[in-house]
Amino acid sequence: MEHTTILDEAWLRLATLAARPDAAAIRPLFAADPDRARRFTATLDDLTVDVSKTAIDGEALVALLDLAHEAGVEGFRRRLFAGAAVNATEGRAAMHMALRAPADAGLHAALPDGIDDASARAAAERDRMRDFVARVHDGTLRGATGQVFDTVLNIGIGGSDLGPRMATEALTLAHGARLRARFLSNVDGTGFAALARELDPARTLVLVASKTFTTLETMENAQAARAWLAGALGEPAVGGHFAALSTNLKAVAAFGIAPGQVFGFRDWVGGRYSLWSPVGLSIALAAGWDTFQALLDGGRAMDLHFRDADFAANLPVLLALVDVWHINVMGYRNHCVLAYDDRLRRFPAYLQQLEMESNGKSVALDGRPVGRATCPVIFGEPGTDAQHSFMQLVHQGTQVVPVDFLLAALPDHDRPAAHLVLAANAFAQAEALLRGRTEAEIRAELAAGGMPPAAIDAAAPHRVFSGDRPSTTILFRRLDAFTLGRLIALYEHKVAVLGAIWGINSFDQWGVELGKVLAGGILPELKRGAKRGVHDGSTAALIARFKDLRGEA
């Protein structure tokens, strides 16, 4: 009870700061503190996180750090790395850090039947993956017709698609791929129809990514790919053209995949944290093993930083505290991610699952309502594209939307002038959100341009930018595999810290289950002549109309 009281007091201190008349003001903080940018920037080697363009001042930062301590984040961090069952509702550890650690790292995960040497187990499976990738790349492992594979098709959904797709695009766009990578997630048949027109079955290696090998959308697509391949090459070809990223050996064998082409992982790996596991096999096949290993090494570097660094200089903790300030203190309900790098065009989509599936919770660990806001809505696009779509709302809309800007200092292309234009836009967008434009400034500018006073009166209000809109800028030397690994792990650990502060379980996702169950019941009803089930009036009417439009009423 005493801890709860102290924690409540920590939240109360933040509420008191929020009640200040100038709580949302950012520009005055720079005027009062010329050294603000340095004091509110933290680094890990070249990776630089600048949170100075937020309304957090020294007093607020102290209060936020106190909140983290009182919420038990240090204890949570110890339990996380000790392999305790931090996923309390499922009784599991969250030991994805072991996937990017060396075999002798000593990371263990609690299991119902004992303790798993997670880092050793992950390294052993990684060795099998590396051997498989080498045999594909050197042509030892070929298709049924004797041709080398030139394409890897990854079939999965959720974490079995978003992470590998994002990382593969990021790591192959600039320098090309060892194998073309294609991804199929949506069960909508048009997706596979388009791929089937593009791909040569004789040179396509198909990965089926489903831990249970029962995921409805994934298995529907896998069966379509199987029929396509068998139809072109014959049934015996299936085994040589498929690999499974799964632990259900019986179902995999029934599908026709040999045990030597099955790669598994344990329950201490959640789907949205699985790109580091065999689920990332498409990354290694497309970008090369050394690149995949560098991705793991970058994640490992962030793990060690998060585990060891003091909270005041800890990048994941710092990002989490900024989110707490924006969500719980300032009441902001949306968060925008702008990566000024086309290779990171899928990064916001990846973060949508990581953040909203992890922390989109309203129930605390003790089963009671959380009592405060948790995860915001995450959205984003690459800069500069976003500047010509939704950034109008971010600059002048009625709601304040904090923004993360991500930018590399050095490009990986031969157009350095274009990169400077890109960087100038990133810096300018962040500065514009901070500075804004007053009506007096606009009037003076329009008058200097010769606009008549009456026209100025009409035009000026529409051109006002309020400013004082917060952003965080994340800079790094260049976007290579090591840096991408650090960025992904940075956001992973930020999400976990937020869950610890809010007292929720960031590692389960029960909210996705009900729709799956109901879909399984509705599916038989959609067949011709099937009886109608019991539904609400709207769903029943929509099913009837759907069948009518199909001529099956």
Q: Out of 9, 74, 516, 552, pick the active-site residue.
A: 516
At 171, give phi and psi (nearest 5°). Answer: -95, -5
Give every CB contact of residue 519 below 8 A, 6+ residues apart in sequence: 216
**First vs last Cα of the chain: how many Å apart?**
61
Q: Out of 357, 361, 492, 494, pick the active-site residue.
A: 357
Q: Out of 250, 388, 462, 531, pick the active-site residue.
A: 388
Burial profile 282-302: b = 16 or more Cβ within 10 angstroms, e = fewer: bbbbbbbbebbbbbbbbbbbb
How many angstroms separate the Cα of 27 from the Cα of each of 246, 403, 470? 52, 16, 10
The strands making up 41-44's β-sheet, listed across from edge to edge, are 41-44, 47-50, 471-476, 403-408, 334-339, 377-382
Cβ-based neighbour number of residue 357 at 10 Å = 22
Quick one: which of 265, 302, 300, 259 has its CA closest to 280? 265
The dihedral through the CA atoms of 121, 127, 130, 131 has a sign that is negative
Q: What six digits make up the tokens of 425?
A: 């836009």
- Whether 419 is catalytic is no
Spatial separation of the C-alpha atoms in residues 319 and 208, rounded to whole Å: 35
Spatial separation of the C-alpha atoms in residues 427 and 481, rounded to whole Å: 24
Extended strands (E) in 370-465: 377-382, 403-408
Q: What six digits make up the tokens of 210?
A: 């489903």
- Whether 357 is catalytic is yes
Give every CB contact of residue 241 below 8 A, 6+ residues apart in sequence: 143, 144, 201, 204, 205, 206, 229, 233
Amino acid code (one letter) for 192: F
At 497, give phi and psi (nearest 5°). Answer: -65, -45
Q: Are 298 and 148 in contact (CB under 8 A)?
A: no
The dihedral through the CA atoms of 71, 74, 77, 79 has a sign that is negative
Q: Are 292 and 284 in contact (CB under 8 A)?
A: yes
Quick one: which of 490, 329, 434 has its CA closest to 37? 434
Q: Are 383 and 425 in contact (CB under 8 A)?
A: yes
- Whether 388 is catalytic is yes
Catalytically active residues are 357, 388, 516
